[in-house]
Amino acid sequence: MALHLYNTASRQKEEFVPRDPANVGMYVCGPTVYDTAHIGNARPVIIFDVLARLLRLQYGDAHVNYVRNITDVEDKIIAAAEANGESIEALTTRTTKAYHEDMAEMGALPPNREPKATEHIVGMVEMIGVLMEKGHAYEAEGHVLFDVTSMADYGKLSGRNRDDMIAGARVEIAPYKKDPADFVLWKPSADDIPGWDSPWGRGRPGWHIECSVMSRAELGDTFDIHGGGRDLIFPHHENEVAQSCCANGDGTFARYWVHNGFLTVEGDKMSKSLGNFRTVRELLAEAPGEALRLNMLSAHYRQPLDWTSDGVKQSKTNLDKLYTSLQSLSDVEADESQVAKSVLDALEDDINTPKALAALYALSSAANKETNLVERSKIKGKLLSGGNLLGLLQQDPKEWFQGAEEGDVTADQIEALILERVEAKTNKNYARSDEIRDSLKDQGIVLEDSPQGTTWKRV
């Protein structure tokens, strides 16, 4: 089947037809790098990583341009740097590096391009100038603001009416605005905070103009997919539409809008005051990144996801089962011509990851029952190709189960103890055999005996 996506702009599921199959463009709003990424930040990264993998499979790596920005100039960054007693450059460098490391641990491939806001200030000043020339923006008390009344269909993406816009979150009320819903394109900067020269004085850009300019620079006036969290629909994405369409012409900008749902933790909105604020780095110390990723994919991307400790544990158990099946197929080579059609069909149906995971589990079950070597080879190929689309099963099973060197016992020591246990059993010294098994179990090492020998894994 063809890829279908739910388009926020039309409020319906649509077949995805790129403007140019040889140049498929996707822009996703990236992080504001003022602190360590939390688990809510990771949801769009993982969802759009799956979509990027799917697009690359369908159109070829060379024909997909996935862009995810870095916001490195913003008032939260200025405040955090001051609070930490460090320079803004030091803060953004450190947090960007941590973001890259954490997302990689969760199996996210890097985007093709990752522009930084500070690299595109000239383009932002240029676009603001165009908006002023066309009568869509005005200057007031050192600020430049977008005039929402100048755009007849402002609000078309979110479907909000005027009252909703004014009452909506993150709409700043200020006396210099012509209309309460007008938003900042440029704001003045004091000498002790970042600023750039402009026709309106030394200042810095508003948040919304950054993505309009970076997406245009990387993908052009019109491109295929714009993604991000549901919380960005209004005002951020609504204002991107307003800026870009008014500057570049009606009908420009993104053709498909894809938004992931909200994430809660243990049944509540994530909050430091509730004690349920979880950073990715903290969670990676408790579970493998692949288990966190599978847990993230266990709910449909448009639906709310409640992140729980029990859910992570179950995801780790499910991955253990998948890797066990893959390990059982070590007697055959993977038939690489075998694409997991059941997984692919699920993902082409609006990135239905729960259905895709169910298909992967079905393949795992089939692997455990199949004895024909040709069929086992096909199943192995499908397991690996399906896993790759989801960003799962990326390790060798032995590596997954045995992991890195941990605790007081090394892999070489474990293998030596297994040989000693074999010798003890041969000599009918079952007490010593059991002692070795139990001692390793106490250290989180489980031995599994089979006709082919003894294997081990960390639990």
Report the pLDDT value the prediction gives residue 433, as an integer from 0 to 100: 82
Task: Check the CA dihedral 233-234-236-237 and report its sign.
Answer: positive
Give the residue-averaged pLDDT of 238-259: 96
- Cα 235 to Cα 137, 180, 221: the distances in Å are 17, 13, 20
**Domain membership flag for residue 305:** yes
Residue 154 phi, psi dihedral angles, 5° rounding: -60, 130
Report the pLDDT value the prediction gives residue 168, as an integer from 0 to 100: 53
Q: Cβ(138)–Cβ(54) under 8 Å?
A: no
Q: Cβ(55)–Cβ(23) under 8 Å?
A: no
* pLDDT tens sequence across 100-111: 999 999 999 999
| Residue type at position 59 | Y
- Grade residue 169 by pLDDT with cuts at 50, 70 and 90: very low
> What does pTM read for this prediction?
0.89
**Domain membership flag for residue 171:** no
Least confident residue range of 261-265, 302-306, 451-455: 451-455
Task: Check the CA dihedral 342-287-408-458 and report its sign.
Answer: negative
* Residues 325 and 453 grouped into a single domain: no
Least confident residue range of 6-10, 306-310, 405-409: 405-409
* Residues 114 and 229 grouped into a single domain: yes
**Domain membership flag for residue 194:** no
* Residues 309 and 357 grouped into a single domain: yes
* Percent above pLDDT 90 for the chain: 80
* pLDDT tens sequence across 14-64: 999 999 999 999 999 999 999 999 999 999 999 999 999 999 999 999 999
pLDDT of residue 75 exceeding 80, the answer is yes
**Domain total of the chain:** 3
Structure tokens at 426: 């041969």
pLDDT of residue 439 exceeding 80, the answer is no
Q: In this structure, what DSSP letter does residue 350 have?
A: T
* Residues 59 and 117 grouped into a single domain: yes
**Domain membership flag for residue 311:** yes
* Residues 14 and 101 grouped into a single domain: yes
The closest of 240, 247, 171, 249 to 211, measured between CA atoms, is 240
Q: In this structure, what DSSP letter does residue 71 have?
A: B
Q: Cβ(403)–Cβ(458) under 8 Å?
A: yes
**Domain membership flag for residue 344:** yes
Helix axes 373-390, 353-369, angle to 10 degrees: 160
Measured distance between the N- and C-terminal CA atoms of the chain, rounded to whole angstroms: 40
Give the residue-averaged pLDDT of 349-367: 98
* Residues 447 and 386 grouped into a single domain: no
Residue 223, beta-bridge partner list: 254
Q: In this structure, what DSSP letter does residue 327 have?
A: H
User: Residue 235, preceding bond cis, omega within 30 degrees?
Assistant: yes
**Domain membership flag for residue 164:** no
Q: Cβ(179)–Cβ(137) under 8 Å?
A: no
Range of the domain at 427: 404-458
* Residues 224 and 357 grouped into a single domain: no
* Residues 353 and 375 grouped into a single domain: yes
**pLDDT, averaged across the chain:** 93
* pLDDT tens sequence across 183-228: 999 999 999 999 999 999 999 999 999 999 999 999 999 999 999 9
CB neighbour list of residue 423: distance below 8 Å, 6 or more residues apart: none
**Domain membership flag for residue 200:** no
CATH number for the domain spanning 326: value is: 1.20.120.640
pLDDT of residue 403 exceeding 80, the answer is no
Q: Cβ(188)–Cβ(142) under 8 Å?
A: yes
CATH number for the domain spanning 17: value is: 3.40.50.620
